[in-house]
Chain A
Amino acid sequence: MARPGAVIEVDRNTPPVLFHYGEGVRLERLPLGSRIVYPPDPLEPIAHPERAIKRALGRPLDDDPLKSLLRRGMKLTLAFDDLSLPLPPMAAPDVRQLVMEEVVDMAAEAGVEDIHVIAALGLHRRMTADEVRHIVGDRIFSTFWPDRLYQHDGEDPDENVYIGKTAQGEEVTLNKRAAESDLVIYVNLTLVPMDGGHKSMATGLATYRGIRANHNVKTLLGSRSYMNPPDSALHHSCIRQGQLIEDTVRVFHIETTVNNHAFPAIASFMQKRETDWTAQDQAMFLAMKQMTDIAPPAFKRNIFHAMRAPYGLTSVNAGQVDAVHDKTLDAVRNQISVPVEGQTDIVTMGVPYLGPYNINAPMNPVLVVCMGAGYLFNLYRGKPVLRQGGVLIFEHPCRYEFDAVQHPSYIDFYDEVLADTTDPAEIESKYEVRFAEDPWFRQLYRKSTAYHGAHPFYAWYWAAFAMEYAGDIIVVGGERDVVHRLGFKAATTLEDALEMAEQTVGRHPSITHLRVPPIMLCDVQ
């Protein structure tokens, strides 16, 4: 049986704790009495994924068996989550491949010929052909690519339709092929509670017009947290949009979850608590530390980004969206929840090399903020681990380093927008539309592999709540100019950062270190 997550209090016998540090790792000694929150060990995966998938499709939740929904002559569209999840990318075969192969086989048996497979990437970047192939597998790729397997284009005026407005005035748009289909089957992979549910269709197959309805500062500030859908204004909005979509087109949802076996054997020490490190783990840590301390960033990046996670399937559910998503959330929480008693004055964490938006690219400073003060900070249920006005400390090299192909709008966001202001609301009102409508960003999003012009704004908004809530945010080991541009404080060492933090939270603060990744969700009581 997998060990649950744990909160360990640092005493004299506690070994130094691992901090991710971009494309590197560090060991830090925390003050006595500090807490370290460890994620649960990986759950045992389902032994026979194909059987579980068949079973889910045959006995869906609050819906008819998939087979009964398929008929000759129908227009069928499969949509699937893009490469932004899971992190790191899953070792082949990806569970989405297994699901889609089963669905395509069933459709073929039923005589369905008009099948399109669409990567539901919303305003994310287009994937390369190899990246698509990795998700869908060789069989589907060679059968459907590129005419009937392609990527959603949220800026194509001819291939998207306006569905209408929700009661709250949120506009809803949808990929035209999906909207005109007799049946859409959405194949999802949920890693954190933020994913899946109505959000899949409402953002994955939408346009800027639809996505901006909830990817905005007001909504995200009203999401406490967006990692916990019941308390998330973002998800409430997506549900309203999704219900309108379900009124327009018949959607059959298939959601999968995986365990948190995020690191391959070569980096198994990252997966384990330090007290569990074997001699081999220690040697691997030392080797990786030596290598990452001296190797140039591009070299390190190639090594890190080549890692594939040996995730195992933990659940697959199909059918009506709400029923399916309830089960999905149960499975996710079962894997990643850790009960944490009370809040703390200071939260520390190491920001790793990878987030949802920098597969095969450096994590640029805006994405560091998105990852640290956005996603990782928000991995809580109830209330944040950090008390209001407390200090968030994260470690990352924070280099001025951008991928010009994937993140062109991020460069201008950093150089132009953050030079003016770091206030999310001001940024939104002054700059977002200009970036979103910039014809070059639009073209790069549509034709190259670039994120949409509005995407850096969303990355910044994800962190809006943390920036408002925390008394200070300190980055350890970051380039000073970059950290200051982000509006944060820079410290050279963790000791310095803790000393600086005392000026905000007072002497003898309580400290909690979140030992992520692997991912966990702090259930703060």
Chain B
Amino acid sequence: MNLNTTYSEQELVSALRLRDEKAFAYLYDQYSGALYSVVNKVLPDKELANDVLQTVFINIWRRFDSYDPTKGRLFTWMLNIARNAAIDEMRSKGFNNNRKNQPLPESNEVAGAITGPAIQDSGLSKVIGQLKEEWRVLLDLAYYQGFTHEEIAKAMDLPLGTVKTRIRAALIHLRTLLQ
């Protein structure tokens, strides 16, 4: 394999549509670290995270035809596949068994359980970790644990509107942190 080959996003997408395995190896080398971070954040169990990352990339290859560049960049699409796969795995493995019938932890427990950014936090979670506590907890529940706004409102005993407003505010602030 020629390690020096680089691709523009468009070239990469065209090559992957043509089932170019070299381009896929490049895609893996470029993005596996970033996707692995997100998967690991959702699934701290290394073995599970490894399995999910493998499934994610195989699905990216097999379902590449379903990628629609008009709806977003390639990385955005892959990031959402990875996050969703990790959350599905977390649920299926019973991390939050019978989640529907169980309340979320009390808000003070949540705050206690998610005590600031871990040292190894990198990439996206590093930025989320810079948000103020109130926002960080909400984004952690929504983004890394996949709870709906309704579930969060119920568990934290906040009006749904407040949860929505705070998540929006957190996201807007996230954008300024990223810039």
A and B are partners in one complex rather than unrelated chains: no
Chain B residues with CB under 8 Å of chain A are none
Q: Residues on A close to B: CB < 8 A?
A: none
